[in-house]
């Protein structure tokens, strides 16, 4: 099984599993995506399931978020997931099918507030 992450050398749990091989992949870097795709293709020749599970957490009031923080969130959560999926779709087609699973944070559905409702007055 192939697993990808930004910093494989920092991983300790997956490296303990015999049937998992780690590959470096940063979803915000097109070259990293292409390089991981080629390495996985050379190692396994096929992919049956693509699991998109990249995350980026941005906490605090929206108006205090910097443009860079907002762009990094979009680059990771939307653009990155889309680019990885686009890269692997041809391989899934060659195989005659497969599954694409994209996980999301509960933060996209549920708002969690640590402030009283009247913390911000307009």
pLDDT in tens, 52-92: 888 877 777 888 889 999 898 888 888 999 999 999 999 99
Query: Binning pLDDT at 50, 70 and 90, where does residue 122 land?
Result: very low
Nearest alpha carbon to residue 80 among 57, 52, 105, 106: 52
Q: Residue 16: count other Cβ atoms within 10 Å of its Cβ.
A: 8
pTM for the model: 0.77
Q: Which one has a higher pLDDT value, 119 or 73? A: 73
pLDDT exceeds cutoff 80 at 110: no
CA distances from 75 to 28, 67, 112, 117 (A): 6, 12, 23, 31
């Amino acid at each position: 099984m192939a697993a990808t992450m930004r910093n494989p050398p920092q991983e300790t749990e997956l490296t303990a599993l015999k049937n998992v091989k780690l590959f470096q992949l940063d979803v915000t870097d097109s070259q990293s995506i292409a390089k991981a795709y080629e390495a996985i293709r050379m190692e396994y020749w096929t992919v049956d399931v693509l699991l998109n599970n990249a995350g980026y957490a941005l906490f605090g009031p929206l108006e205090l978020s910097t443009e860079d923080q907002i762009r990094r969130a979009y680059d990771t959560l939307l653009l990155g997931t889309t680019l990885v999926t686009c890269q692997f779709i041809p391989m899934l087609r060659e195989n005659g099918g497969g599954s694409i699973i994209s996980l999301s944070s509960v933060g996209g559905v549920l708002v969690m507030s640590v402030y009283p409702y009247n913390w911000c007055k307009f």
